[in-house]
């Protein structure tokens, strides 16, 4: 029976369409829905709306259901997770919904779920940051050509390249922290968006659920649906842009035309017709998944466009976009953590004549240091390149912050650590 049952049956086709993927997706939310119910009924008992003896029976039963959900054994036979939990509690389950709506239940479930998943993602980002920074330090003296417009430009280094992505993760952490904070306001008790005449203690459930604060205005709490998902999707899109660009570099640099890096054989695939092929499929798939992740905010905006305040069933479709993004992102992080430590680099790149022109600016700066005006030195070196006589055999002198001679890796680590410490428990 539906929890909103009024004594008539819908056309089964209507039920199938309106339920959509809720049963499958709600399995992800089940532990958090049960956790929210435990906090809610504890508060109900404290304000006199639920007998203490009922609470004493309900809490162990809910904890058993929560463990089932955590172990992947919880099943949904009813309309959704909310109706399933009520049904599984027997006659006492009829009492747990006082002062709530499915609207604030779902909003709460999503926030609890999101906070747990952001924490997991941040842990993986921290691991990736450490891998990138360690490899940057190990390879800080190994030169590689830097490119602009896909043309050989100036000397770079593998340390500078990998350190750049480590510092990008700092910016991504800023956005993940913003997403974390937006999910830190408890919507429980806002009911359908207009509060309740029941004497609820919303501060108490905020405390029980370990939220920093509550969403004060009930309408605002409901308007958080969609806004919250969009903020999180934007943060994950930023991280996806970083990972996707790194994956593209790895694909490009591992090709025979570049030959900068060599991927472990275990992370490549072959061709059904060409026996020589070792394809960087792992990094190509990371790139594709990250491109999909970057498109999710636009899809969310389209669903939210022109919705007035209050709840609408449109919000249900958000779950289909939103809930899977966490597994997709974490799988990309996991595969990069596997592949990057074993990636080999070519230490002799800059000895190839092809990359001589990367040292043109070095020669210009050498001439400037002897008193030649910069523009004259620029033209002199340019003419040598055009005549085919340019050759550089001097030493590199890069000392300023962020150059190949001064990667500032400790400063980047300090910034990342400072951002990481803003997450509770870090």
- Which residues are catalytic, by number? 149, 271
| Tokens 């008992």, located at residue | 45
Per the CB < 8 A criterion, the answer to whether 96 and 86 are in contact is: yes
Task: Centre a 10 Å sphere on the Cβ of residue 282 and count the other Cβ atoms it contains.
Answer: 22
Sequence-ordered list of residues with C-beta below 8 angstroms from that of 184, at least 6 positions apart, any chain: 111, 115, 211, 212, 213
Rounded distance, CA 311 to CA 167, Å?
40
3-class secondary structure, 419 = helix
Residue 97 has phi, psi (to 5 degrees) of -95, 0
Rounded distance, CA 407 to CA 237, Å?
27
Cα distances from 188 to residues 92, 192, 397, in angstroms, run 21, 10, 60
Beta bridge partner(s), residue 261: 345
Question: Distance of alpha carbon 2 from its chain centroid, rounded?
Answer: 35
Count how many residues are written for the chain.
Answer: 426
3-class secondary structure, 186 = strand
Rounded distance, CA 279 to CA 263, Å?
9
């Amino acid at each position: 029976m539906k929890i909103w049952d009024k004594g008539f049956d819908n056309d089964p086709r209507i039920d199938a369409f309106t339920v959509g993927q809720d049963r499958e997706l709600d399995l992800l939310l089940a532990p958090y829905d049960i956790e929210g119910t435990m906090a809610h009924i504890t508060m109900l008992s404290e304000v006199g709306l639920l007998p203490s003896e009922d609470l004493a029976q309900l809490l162990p039963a809910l904890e058993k259901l929560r463990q089932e959900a955590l172990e992947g054994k919880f099943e949904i036979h009813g309309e959704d997770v909310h109706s399933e939990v009520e049904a599984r509690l027997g006659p006492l389950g009829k009492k747990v919904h006082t002062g709530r709506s499915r609207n604030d239940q779902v909003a709460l479930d999503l926030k609890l779920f999101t906070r747990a998943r952001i924490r997991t993602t941040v842990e993986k980002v921290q691991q990736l940051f450490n891998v990138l920074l360690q490899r940057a330090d190990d390879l800080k003296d190994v030169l590689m050509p830097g490119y602009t417009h896909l043309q050989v430009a100036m000397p770079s280094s593998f340390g500078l390249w990998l350190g750049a992505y480590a510092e990008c993760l700092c910016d991504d952490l800023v956005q993940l922290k913003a997403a974390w904070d937006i999910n830190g306001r408890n919507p429980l008790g806002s009911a359908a968006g207009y509060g309740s005449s029941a004497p609820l203690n919303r501060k108490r459930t905020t405390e029980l659920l370990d939220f920093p604060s509550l969403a004060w205005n009930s309408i605002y709490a409901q308007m958080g649906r969609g806004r919250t998902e969009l903020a999180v999707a934007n943060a994950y899109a930023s991280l996806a842009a970083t990972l996707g660009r790194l994956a593209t570099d790895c694909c490009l640099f591992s090709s025979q035309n570049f030959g900068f890096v060599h991927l472990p054989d275990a992370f490549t695939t072959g061709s059904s017709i060409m026996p020589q092929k070792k394809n960087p499929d792992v990094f190509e798939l990371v790139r594709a998944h990250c491109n999909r992740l970057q498109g999710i905010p636009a899809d969310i905006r389209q669903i939210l466009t022109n919705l007035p305040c209050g709840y609408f069933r449109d919000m249900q479709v958000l779950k289909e976009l939103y809930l899977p993004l966490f597994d997709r992102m974490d799988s990309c992080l996991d595969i990069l953590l596997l592949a990057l430590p074993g990636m080999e680099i070519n230490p002799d790149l800059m000895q190839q004549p092809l990359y001589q022109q990367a040292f043109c600016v070095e020669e210009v700066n050498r001439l400037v240091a002897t008193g030649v005006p910069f523009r004259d030195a620029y033209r002199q070196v340019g003419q040598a390149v055009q005549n085919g006589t340019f050759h550089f055999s001097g030493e590199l002198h890069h000392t300023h912050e962020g150059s190949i001679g001064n990667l500032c890796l400790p400063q980047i680590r300090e910034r990342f650590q400072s951002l990481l410490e803003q997450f509770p428990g870090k």
